[in-house]
């Protein structure tokens, strides 16, 4: 068996609660007094004084020899970093939107991601960089890059997380077990097969990497290393820690990367990067995970029955279960977490629908007028376009008033009151969430007992109360809602394992 994640679940309860964050912050926020020290100051050899952010400022002292751990989250629209100590206290954090480079008429995502990762490294306060012991990264699940195995340069544009390759689905279904996770047009394996059937050359020297794998390669320089969370949707079996025979028998199996546990030390930071940015010689780079799992880790939901709903552009659910559940018919799959499983899926409903209809200011003002204890009579299936993944896997499911009325267009009828309209949308998304948790229970997963909320939707208190009523469960905001924090915990895990 590969190294497990038991260190994560073991040390989560021991962490001090992260310092509260102010409502508004700049793209980089240092809690170490960067402005006082100056941008080029060196760390005090005896101790570094840091101040936790928030209204209740508290003093935090880094003792001689104490190290920091860097996590980076590459989401759908931008990237973040979090820098923590071994107790889990945040010392610096920041974010970057992706710069848009064009290649012909399409966005050059590879160049955007590459620019962003080095921008984030530059954003880490100079006086903290020599203290960083390890780095880890999470990326969007099933974002796939085919690269040259000798140079690491992409051979094809990236397949994005939500991109479907229906042309490859019949072939994948013909080789995979019935209802396997890869039997979805958006799976990594479908993307690999689609590329394999399209490309006539460079097949022998090609290598498959996930977004997080490729970004980590930029830092450690060892091609072909992945983690079993990212590798799940290409067909890797984390229960037996290997690729299954049916996958290894395929002509493209040589493209598959080697797989280790998330948070496993791969090697030291490349010398040129270490020298350029001022990181220490012993700074190690660790395998990463997917963005939704990093968000789950950040929430520190460590007991079976605890769940995290990420309310971002889409709605993603992760429930800690003692049983593994897999069924592509419903978009349900399980990620390994130590001796337990993160069961769940991702719906296409979520914040992207709200963004199309309301501004942030409107959402705030309208939400204040909603009575969350009253049920809305409106029944929508909020989607930005046709297609749903979970709890219903239907590529043709249209945005509509109800599941029985396919003739209705986007979220109609619309009431005259915008407050009622928003109330109906928020409650409809909550019903989809409730249906998802009910489905997981019916399929044999551990029954959900408590839900933590991450993502932008976690800031809406009225929505939390609506969901609490609809779900019939305790719902609260996660102590940490940023996936970058979960990636930093993986970096901490990797540093601790490398010392053992």
Per-residue model confidence (pLDDT) at position 27: 61
* pLDDT range class, residue 47, cuts 50, 70, 90: very low
C-beta atoms surrounding 110 within 10 Å:
18
What is the Cα–Cα distance from 365 to 356, expressed in whole angstroms? 16
% helix, strand, coil for the chain, step of 5? 35, 25, 45
User: What rounded mean pLDDT belongs to the chain?
Assistant: 86
pLDDT in tens, 76-98: 889 999 999 999 999 999 999 99
Whether the ω angle into residue 213 lies within 30 degrees of 0, i.e. cis, is no
| Residue 127 clears pLDDT 80, i.e. is over it | yes
Tokens of 85: 């100590």
Per-residue model confidence (pLDDT) at position 389: 84
Pick the closest to residue 424 from 368, 457, 380, 369 (CA basis): 380
Per-residue model confidence (pLDDT) at position 170: 97
Per-residue model confidence (pLDDT) at position 28: 62
| Residue 378 clears pLDDT 50, i.e. is over it | yes
Tokens of 214: 């490729």
| Residue 6 clears pLDDT 80, i.e. is over it | no
What is the Cα–Cα distance from 223 to 258, expressed in whole angstroms? 9
Distance of CA 52 to the CA centre of its chain: 25
Long-range pairs of 24-29 with CB within 8 A, sequence gap ≥ 24: 25/53, 26/94, 27/94, 27/95, 27/96, 27/123, 28/92, 28/93, 28/94, 28/123, 28/125, 29/53, 29/92, 29/93, 29/94
pLDDT in tens, 236-248: 999 999 999 999 9
pLDDT in tens, 182-211: 999 999 999 999 999 998 888 999 999 999
Name the least confident of 34-43, 63-72, 80-89, 191-200.
Answer: 34-43
The residue ranking higher by pLDDT, 96 or 388, is: 96
For residue 98, the 8-state DSSP code is P
pTM of the predicted structure, to 2 decimals? 0.79
Pick the closest to residue 82 from 33, 30, 32 (CA basis): 30
CA angle (20, 26, 30) in 5-degree steps? 60
| Residue 402 clears pLDDT 70, i.e. is over it | no
| Residue 36 clears pLDDT 60, i.e. is over it | no
* pLDDT range class, residue 499, cuts 50, 70, 90: confident
Whether the ω angle into residue 413 lies within 30 degrees of 0, i.e. cis, is yes
Beta bridge partners of 48: 62
Name the least confident of 56-70, 170-184, 337-351.
Answer: 56-70
Per-residue model confidence (pLDDT) at position 199: 84
């Amino acid at each position: 068996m590969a190294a497990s994640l038991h260190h994560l679940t073991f040390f989560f309860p021991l962490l001090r609660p992260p310092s509260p964050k102010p409502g508004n912050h700049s793209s980089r926020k240092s809690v170490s007094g960067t402005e006082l020290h100056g941008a080029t100051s060196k760390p005090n050899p005896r101790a570094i004084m840091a101040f936790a952010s928030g209204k209740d400022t508290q003093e935090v002292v880094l003792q001689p020899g104490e190290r920091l751990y860097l996590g980076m989250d590459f989401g759908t629209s931008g990237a973040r970093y979090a820098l923590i100590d071994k107790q889990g206290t945040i010392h610096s954090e920041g974010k970057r939107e992706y710069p848009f480079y064009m290649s012909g008429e399409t966005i050059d995502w590879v160049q955007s991601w590459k620019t962003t990762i080095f921008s984030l490294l530059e954003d880490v306060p100079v006086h903290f960089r020599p203290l960083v012991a390890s780095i880890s990264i999470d990326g969007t699940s099933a974002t796939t890059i085919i690269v040259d195995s000798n140079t690491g340069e992409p051979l094809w544009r990236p397949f994005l997380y939500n991109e479907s390759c229906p042309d490859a689905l019949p072939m994948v279904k013909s080789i995979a077990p019935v209802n396997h996770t890869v039997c979805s047009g958006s799976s990594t394996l479908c993307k690999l097969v689609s590329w394999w059937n399209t490309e006539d050359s460079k097949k022998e020297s090609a290598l498959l990497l996930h977004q997080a794998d490729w970004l980590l390669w930029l830092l450690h320089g060892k091609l072909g290393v992945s983690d079993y969370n990212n590798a799940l949707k290409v067909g890797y079996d984390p229960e037996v820690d290997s690729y299954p025979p049916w996958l290894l028998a395929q002509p493209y199996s040589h493209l598959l990367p080697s797989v280790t546990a998330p948070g496993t030390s791969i090697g030291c930071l490349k010398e040129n990067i270490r020298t350029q940015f001022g990181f220490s010689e012993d700074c190690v780079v660790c395998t990463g995970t997917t963005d939704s799992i990093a968000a789950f880790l950040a929430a520190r939901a460590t007991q079976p029955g605890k769940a995290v709903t990420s309310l971002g552009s889409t709605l993603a659910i992760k429930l800690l279960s003692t049983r593994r559940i897999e069924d592509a018919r419903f978009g349900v799959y399980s990620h390994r977490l130590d001796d337990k499983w993160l069961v769940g899926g991702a719906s296409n409903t979520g914040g992207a629908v709200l963004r199309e209809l309301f501004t942030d200011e409107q959402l705030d003002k309208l939400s204040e007028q909603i009575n969350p204890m009253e049920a809305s009579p409106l029944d929508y299936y909020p989607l930005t376009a046709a297609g749903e993944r979970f709890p219903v896997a239907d590529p043709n499911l249209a945005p509509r008033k109800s599941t029985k009325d396919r003739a209705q267009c986007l979220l109609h009828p619309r009431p005259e009151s915008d407050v009622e309209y928003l109330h109906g949308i928020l409650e409809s998304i909550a019903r989809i969430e409730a249906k998802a948790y009910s489905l997981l229970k019916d399929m044999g997963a551990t029954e959900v007992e408590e839900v933590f909320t991450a993502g932008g939707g976690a800031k809406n208190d009225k929505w939390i109360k609506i969901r609490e009523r609809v779900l019939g469960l305790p719902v609260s905001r996660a102590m940490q809602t940023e996936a970058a924090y979960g990636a930093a915990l993986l970096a901490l895990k990797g540093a601790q394992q490398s010392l053992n």
